[in-house]
Structure 1
């Protein structure tokens, strides 16, 4: 056979520049019609016409709406009811209000009265609603790989348990940290029925080093409760307390209370951040200093050394260990500021290094922080068992010395080191029982899968903080034949199922009326304290020599996917990371200088290797502000729960899969997680990075929708629009601040001012000082407004559907490198970061309204820019004419039939179809609901009656919404602030959304520029 390529017919080989590959080899239109006769063409169109007519004759399926035979008390059809409960998205235990509509939860909000959440709720908590309606969740128990029922499981498992008890089998319980006293009692009662039962609590990203360090320095092995609202100066060493560390919603609310730019008389806190990768907390720091992962303990060592000199106290463990990344004079200056505000200063550390944690405790002791800014008498309960206990248990499992294992709230095969070896040992074990609601990497090896209820179907008590008891109540009946874990344990312990409600009622004291009050409030404060211990100087460990050489691994948790337990959730996968703006993947973050040295670009797949065997292959993402030695990879990816996303997004001819070649979203980074000295080492281990030659394009939402002038149109000295305005506390103290505002030309108005807003005029103001970029508002908006998920490929095509996005801007602090791209931060120096939520601005002179040929976008008499879906014909003129790039077009029919997941849809908001434009509506349904309530109560709508979905979820309370015509409203006062500005005000669209400038607490000569 000849190897000569076949000749192509005329018209082939021409390139189409608008296609990604130039359209090489694509036939022209005339060639597509070659060989098609008029007769064949008429036959085809005739069949198509007949088929269309037949579709119109199809019988429409009937649906019945049945009324209540007996109307339940307090239930009104179509009205939403709120139930207080506790969020189960993570171990923080935030108070929550579940909005139930006709018997089904449709929205989750923070409980404004709860002392942890203060009304805020993170993105994970918002998205946890989808877990309730997940159609892939197990609806019945599984026995020996087959669906079963509880009666059969109880009989078969009961026989196995009796055999273990009679043979004195070695039984272990491996699960997530238990914060419920009732659940802990049931687990301990169950394990007590065995001669050799043991309980080990662990999490995917442990906080146990904090507790172990306090055991050494104070004799109390616990995680203290941190009070950021009491601290004037905060120094954080690798603790992302605004992002993922311990209790971010609580910490954000507390931190923001001392950062309000219009209330400087209350004290504006100072925040210093030492870290190796760019975290959410690092983006909000007044001063951010890059350090190598191996320098964390040395930073604290130097800090304690300077503080001890101020306090005239010496610690024998403290030796001078200068760093290469940070000048010691800077640390001395920071120590001086801490000492100046002692008793109102706080040092926190997120390192897995025990020495670093004990040094952090020493710093807080010198500053007098215990009992003021952090509390050991009423600590948090997030730690679980020690890392040593976990390591010993895994060693015993590997050696075959454990006969039965019960797994709850954890996926150890994926989340813990040496998962493949653990999976093999599970297959050889006598008995493995999993309580997972999914068939994940661990439960796939279980003899029995006994699926637990979703937390919105459960009863529970939660003492996440000593002295605070929060309660969980079911919002809906179980959606399958699942059974709550506590009931299963009562059955296997006593032979009878004791309802969990009765268990929780008994643990609360047994008073039914009091219990009803507790359920109504959702929590109870108790005067309970424990021994806070005393400082033991000998418990402080000496820091090792700082190491900034080579490449060092940093394993971390992302805001959207904090652990593999959330790998099933498409809302979280499509939530842009607050820093990188990447979705649907994890990656190896490298600094620009390191990527240049290794000749790597965004999307190049690299092999990150720990020794000879342990390695993970992920694409590269170049991250400004990262230390040159750090290689940061996120945990929580590569789960089998993400296999379902192979078909996510529209199934059109050019569709590319969301999952990788292995069918999974991302790669599991636990392949390079290992124990060192009996503890998991998440950061600081030396790794190698080698290019594989492959590429995996990342989907990022920051590379477009940019409001800045493109670099090729605005060369050096060209226009830079100040989309984000920034100032300092010192400048704000100047009484003349704001008098030199940016002036723009008056472009005039082509419309007469004949439509004054005599009633309400709705508006919004966002405080950029308080916005952390956490993206809880993005997910809250998505849940409230039925915003669809489109998949990785559609995001890469700039077609994501989020009504609200958060623009993230980098600005190089070093003037020598400040010429880099402002939105993507191409400079190699230190960078300042700002976050700016961007949604429809509901302009009074809206340019989108004038170009719509069918009047599908119109203006209301209350200032709302409204989208009329049934008029829209999809010209997209409005999208092209929107200066803020916030309109979204339904390129496909994204909604799909799902018996369970469609129950999560908000019935107050229309599901949009293909060819329709959509965008932020200022939660018009909430405005109407507030008006109806006010009308029923015969009063005007009061300020605060209406809270947008984005506003309600914000833990920092950065968003104000209300009537701009009411001079006493919060939004009117915010618009009167000296810091108030509008984006693109110069084009004369008169937006109803404004911002207040970003304030940093640093000397005036370090004032950040206006940027965007």
Structure 2
């Protein structure tokens, strides 16, 4: 038997068994998957051969290397290192110290509320975004915020003024702009974010341009929700959810924790923390009484659904039926339920859920996905009104967006001839998204056709389709280059201030609006005079003067400085709408048939990486695996296993071939299968399918998505914006019908966005969230498409990895185990149930020397700092914010789709995702076995083992243990044997197979060209790099370091502060200092992943500090003291510094299937 075949039976006979899988291949237990897992590392990792010359020999390899070396000498005259000069400031700012960061408070404007930020800058370069923790909503960030700093340095950003795609001068642009607005019939289209200054300037524009009209538009904004709220509470109204008061939540296809925000989620997580957010409650049995309970009905898994206590798959066409039955059982006067009442388990699910909501009246809320129709939101309003939610868990506020029309109003005004010019100030890309507006029963007009009737001015940061087609394109400044203001999700006035002058001479939104208000139209030129103050500053200053509650110039100046220092004005916020809500009648809903095999529902999803397509050029987001599907660099058609089987696609997806008991290490050998060297075998190539709806057709690869409702297909929007001649290389069996092998370039995007995914916008037609009647079939060409999926990478399959318990008594096997009893079993799940206690091979410090009893072993550890981390699975939703934050902080490179497919992604922290279902469900023969499994995310990075297996195998001591407990890397020693990665049971190490930081990895086969490949040296993206972190090159191993640069900074600051205190007034420099004196401030050090986590799932601190939060989970000797805590793979004796806290589910015992909730990981196998 191979040494790498570690499979073993960990479940004692007669015990409960839980099936856990990460992919269809694991679920079906295919031989190809087994081969992949047994091999542990891709065979391609053992060579540097490209997929086209995989048959080459060692002799060929040496020939190539010799040629590359010769070419390197040929291309580098004298091979002399280039001279780089350090140039001092001409006028040195007194507050800038080279090598020391400066921090500025700002915010990132976005629909649904701005994110308050603290921006880290080095010598004027923004490098990292952190949450502003003194702000009430500054608990964390999402992946879009973390990645936005990369957009600032995007070399493909717009730099020039364009007219119909042709470059023009600034003077020509000003002249053109003057002519385009001369008539006064101008339409201004803003984004869905809010701004007090923009509102003030909007009023001035309306006075100057008498025919001006104003709109807001973003492709995936919730127009149905907006229409319902404004019809009820008035123009500019918004309804905000207060999750801190919501004990019972029913979410109907509303991903309120991630992509469909309806208020600050900090309160939700506060009520989800079992031991409170600071873990001050030691007795978990007491604190679970205050936990909230989340019910979720949705068509496909969302991150919110993954945290739900009860979840039901629900086709989007049946949402009206579902809400009507909920309303009727609550007592709302619903006469007719379209399609009739649900029966069976679904009816019981609704009944028991409604009972629970009614019992928590005033502390319950029902949320509906914002992109559903107005009529459904009206019904949701009546439900919440019946629950007493308004004024408690929900409140209506008055925003600054009153008077803004929607996209339908824009198209109507253009069609009526009310506008001559439209100025697009939205981050949307109308020519890509192109929604259709129904003007009458017989007339439909697309947005692109409407814009073709007027002159278009587009202000934006990217050269997308709209920019190239516009009559005038104005390059926009990034928000980190701009003055502005905005409001957070709860309505707190928040400032936006520039960190750097516009890198490419872009113009801010407020500069453009101010220029249009001047006597003669002008556009501020920051490149002409760097010392000239932006008009945006004066605009914000004037707005602030009007809303601040201070009098006198000196007080106003002091207050504005405080605003810039803190980033927000706490006493300036939205006003509550306490009355005046219009009467809402029960809507008459159309009856929609349930989807069938011949007529599926198709969902047009907001993408977790690209959103609506605006982040197409952001490599960090493109390479971050989708939290549910684990696909990166692409989109796909997602469907349930049953739907795939009905379409005849499932077997092709998993290549079903039942295996023998060899999985567990006994029985006959498994049959060898063809596992491609460059990827993960059966899930590397996905079959292409064709979907037809509304007379439009799309060919795209198919992915099985567990937890989806049957007869539903989902596709993410925003992909497929550009192709080149290499697009066909990703197919086997022929190109799709829309691609003939030539280059297709509908618009200009950077090399990052080329050949990524498939454009699903044409299928959508209107701006609806879903459409019925879709027909899906296997592509006639029979071809397959290469996918990069990480779900089977770095597998620890076969162990009790993620763990979960329930607040409900476990009655399995006739033995009742209460919550306290389940807590006691957390550390004994899986192999830990019959593994002996860990005994370290290392003698403790101060113990007798075995070779000399009179001597003691030296004290080698740091007496001031011993670092540790804990990750709470109860609140982690798998959102990727920590992954992108780590990438930004630690200069982690992007490797591109091809390298990811080979298992070579470089992320230091990965987000594993498991689906799990107890075998009782399978035994009962219910469909929920596959359609409603639980989803459990788990972040995994280097766990900093005290007895690290990697350290003992390195031949050059490149990986060593530090005095403060870190398993550290000495990059200059590493010779790339990769023994450490082979010996790491957590699969946490990453190897630089190429110079990812030097060569551009997203250009086709550029990495394989060696010194002839295109370099990134001098690229503006290098300005983002953290100067305190080494940039690793080819042949070097790397991994998580616990952000050692931050730890060292904290130590140095502690020493400096101690020295100042010790020497203050001292007559001698010989002052004694204790280890406690050198200890950093309690919980002052925050690592990048911890800072980004909005849920507060990650705790980091000093084990030697008795006041630190981590000490409520572990003691000073790294021993677990929290009942929910456990060590990953504890039974192998590595003694990791990172521990996990088991997920706690809070089910309603009367719900169907409640006894199986929270049992997903009793035994993972």
TM-score tier by shorter-chain length is 0.7 to 0.9
Cα separation, 1, equivalents of 2:693 and 2:967? 55
Please state how far the C-alpha of 1:217 moved relative to its aligned partner: 4.5
Please state how far the C-alpha of 1:214 moved relative to its aligned partner: 2.8
Return closer, same or farther for 1:25/1:989 CA change in 2, 3 Å cut-off: closer
2:711 paired with 1:629: yes
Return closer, same or farther for 1:341/1:620 CA change in 2, 3 Å cut-off: same
Cα separation, 1, equivalents of 2:121 and 2:44? 47
2:324 paired with 1:301: yes
Partners of 1:85 and 1:97 within 8 A in 2: yes
Cα separation, 2, equivalents of 1:931 and 1:887? 26
- Of residues 629-638 and 852-861 in structure 1, the stretch that sits farther from structure 2 once superposed is 629-638
Determine the structure 1 residue equivalent to 2:257. 242
Cα separation, 2, equivalents of 1:632 and 1:904? 35
Structure 1 residues 321-356: Cα deviation after superposition (integer angstroms, max 9, x where no partner): 313686222211111100111111011000512222
**Which of 676, 689, 713 is matched with 2:776 structurally?**
689
Return closer, same or farther for 1:150/1:315 CA change in 2, 3 Å cut-off: same
**1:188-267 equivalences in 2 (<5 Å):** 188-218=203-233, 222-246=237-261, 250-251=264-265, 253-263=266-276, 264-265=286-287, 267=290
Cα separation, 2, equivalents of 1:215 and 1:381? 13
Secondary structure class of the residue paired with 1:294:
helix
Structure 1 residues 507-551: Cα deviation after superposition (integer angstroms, max 9, x where no partner): 111732221111111111226524344555543313333532221
Cα separation, 2, equivalents of 1:855 and 1:537? 74
Partners of 1:762 and 1:862 within 8 A in 2: yes
**1:283-322 equivalences in 2 (<5 Å):** 283-308=306-331, 314=333, 321-322=340-341
Determine the structure 1 residue equivalent to 2:194. 179
Determine the structure 1 residue equivalent to 2:959. 857
Please state how far the C-alpha of 1:157 moved relative to its aligned partner: 2.3
Return closer, same or farther for 1:909/1:803 CA change in 2, 3 Å cut-off: same
Structure 1 residues 267-307: Cα deviation after superposition (integer angstroms, max 9, x where no partner): 10000001011111111100001111111121111111111
Partners of 1:404 and 1:429 within 8 A in 2: no
- Of residues 221-230 and 462-471 in structure 1, the stretch that sits farther from structure 2 once superposed is 462-471
Determine the structure 1 residue equivalent to 2:626. 577
Cα separation, 2, equivalents of 1:23 and 1:944? 49
Cα separation, 2, equivalents of 1:598 and 1:878? 45
Partners of 1:210 and 1:223 within 8 A in 2: no
Please state how far the C-alpha of 1:227 moved relative to its aligned partner: 0.8
Cα separation, 2, equivalents of 1:156 and 1:127? 35
Partners of 2:640 and 2:705 within 8 A in 1: yes
2:124 paired with 1:103: yes
Please state how far the C-alpha of 1:143 moved relative to its aligned partner: 3.6
Cα separation, 1, equivalents of 2:702 and 2:400? 37
Return closer, same or farther for 1:334/1:54 CA change in 2, 3 Å cut-off: closer
Structure 1 residues 818-851: Cα deviation after superposition (integer angstroms, max 9, x where no partner): 899xxxx995231111111100011011000111
Determine the structure 2 residue equivalent to 1:390. 407
Cα separation, 2, equivalents of 1:684 and 1:422? 17
Return closer, same or farther for 1:933/1:738 CA change in 2, 3 Å cut-off: same
Partners of 1:426 and 1:445 within 8 A in 2: no
Return closer, same or farther for 1:749/1:113 CA change in 2, 3 Å cut-off: closer
Cα separation, 2, equivalents of 1:943 and 1:90? 36
Secondary structure class of the residue paired with 1:196:
coil
2:468 paired with 1:444: yes
Cα separation, 1, equivalents of 2:212 and 2:476? 22
Cα separation, 1, equivalents of 2:73 and 2:311? 63
**1:160-175 equivalences in 2 (<5 Å):** 160-162=180-182, 164-165=183-184, 170-175=185-190
Cα separation, 2, equivalents of 1:532 and 1:834? 40
Determine the structure 2 residue equivalent to 1:10. none
Determine the structure 2 residue equivalent to 1:703. 792
Partners of 1:231 and 1:373 within 8 A in 2: yes
**1:737-756 equivalences in 2 (<5 Å):** 737-740=822-825, 741-742=827-828, 743=833, 744-746=835-837, 748-754=839-845
Please state how far the C-alpha of 1:187 moved relative to its aligned partner: 3.8
**Which of 265, 268, 292 is matched with 1:269 structurally?**
292
Return closer, same or farther for 1:617/1:883 CA change in 2, 3 Å cut-off: same
Return closer, same or farther for 1:1005/1:61 CA change in 2, 3 Å cut-off: same
Structure 1 residues 621-679: Cα deviation after superposition (integer angstroms, max 9, x where no partner): 10010000211111121224x87998999xxxxxxx9x99754311222111123xxxx
Please state how far the C-alpha of 1:784 moved relative to its aligned partner: 0.2
Structure 1 residues 65-118: Cα deviation after superposition (integer angstroms, max 9, x where no partner): 1223443232211111110001136552010110011111010011112223x2
Secondary structure class of the residue paired with 2:996:
coil
Please state how far the C-alpha of 1:729 moved relative to its aligned partner: 2.1
Determine the structure 1 residue equivalent to 2:764. 673
Cα separation, 2, equivalents of 1:183 and 1:687? 42
Partners of 1:120 and 1:956 within 8 A in 2: yes
Please state how far the C-alpha of 1:135 moved relative to its aligned partner: 0.8
Determine the structure 1 residue equivalent to 2:987. 885
Return closer, same or farther for 1:558/1:161 CA change in 2, 3 Å cut-off: closer
**Which of 423, 438, 445 is matched with 1:406 structurally?**
423
Determine the structure 1 residue equivalent to 2:1140. 995
- Of residues 724-733 and 454-463 in structure 1, the stretch that sits farther from structure 2 once superposed is 724-733
Return closer, same or farther for 1:128/1:842 CA change in 2, 3 Å cut-off: same
Cα separation, 2, equivalents of 1:695 and 1:46? 35
Please state how far the C-alpha of 1:192 moved relative to its aligned partner: 4.5
RMSD: 3.5
Please state how far the C-alpha of 1:156 moved relative to its aligned partner: 3.1
Partners of 1:212 and 1:222 within 8 A in 2: no
Structure 1 residues 669-722: Cα deviation after superposition (integer angstroms, max 9, x where no partner): 2111123xxxx321242211122122112211111211013xxxxxxxxxxx21
2:134 paired with 1:113: yes
Partners of 1:229 and 1:255 within 8 A in 2: yes
2:96 paired with 1:75: yes
Secondary structure class of the residue paired with 1:242:
coil
Return closer, same or farther for 1:23/1:682 CA change in 2, 3 Å cut-off: closer
**1:542-691 equivalences in 2 (<5 Å):** 542-545=588-591, 547-550=593-596, 551-601=600-650, 602=653, 603-612=686-695, 614-640=696-722, 662=744, 663-675=754-766, 680-691=767-778
Partners of 1:463 and 1:470 within 8 A in 2: yes
Gaps of 5+ in 1: 1-16, 650-656, 710-720
Secondary structure class of the residue paired with 1:764:
strand
Please state how far the C-alpha of 1:972 moved relative to its aligned partner: 1.9
**Which of 1020, 1024, 1031 is matched with 1:900 structurally?**
1020
- Of residues 843-852 and 410-419 in structure 1, the stretch that sits farther from structure 2 once superposed is 410-419
Secondary structure class of the residue paired with 1:1009:
coil
Determine the structure 2 residue equivalent to 1:463. 487
Cα separation, 2, equivalents of 1:223 and 1:18? 55
Secondary structure class of the residue paired with 2:79:
coil
Cα separation, 1, equivalents of 2:902 and 2:1091? 31
Cα separation, 1, equivalents of 2:501 and 2:53? 58
Return closer, same or farther for 1:380/1:722 CA change in 2, 3 Å cut-off: farther
Determine the structure 2 residue equivalent to 1:970. 1109
Return closer, same or farther for 1:627/1:787 CA change in 2, 3 Å cut-off: same
Cα separation, 1, equivalents of 2:50 and 2:759? 35
Determine the structure 2 residue equivalent to 1:517. 562
Cα separation, 2, equivalents of 1:925 and 1:981? 28
Please state how far the C-alpha of 1:864 moved relative to its aligned partner: 0.3
Please state how far the C-alpha of 1:320 moved relative to its aligned partner: 9.1
Structure 1 residues 171-219: Cα deviation after superposition (integer angstroms, max 9, x where no partner): 3223322511212333443354444332221111122322322344455
Determine the structure 2 residue equivalent to 1:139. 159
Return closer, same or farther for 1:660/1:337 CA change in 2, 3 Å cut-off: farther
Secondary structure class of the residue paired with 1:828:
helix
Partners of 1:426 and 1:446 within 8 A in 2: no
Cα separation, 1, equivalents of 2:903 and 2:1124? 33
Secondary structure class of the residue paired with 1:566:
coil
Determine the structure 2 residue equivalent to 1:956. 1095
Determine the structure 2 residue equivalent to 1:773. 878
Partners of 2:915 and 2:934 within 8 A in 1: yes
Cα separation, 2, equivalents of 1:382 and 1:567? 28
Partners of 1:235 and 1:347 within 8 A in 2: yes
Cα separation, 2, equivalents of 1:471 and 1:644? 45
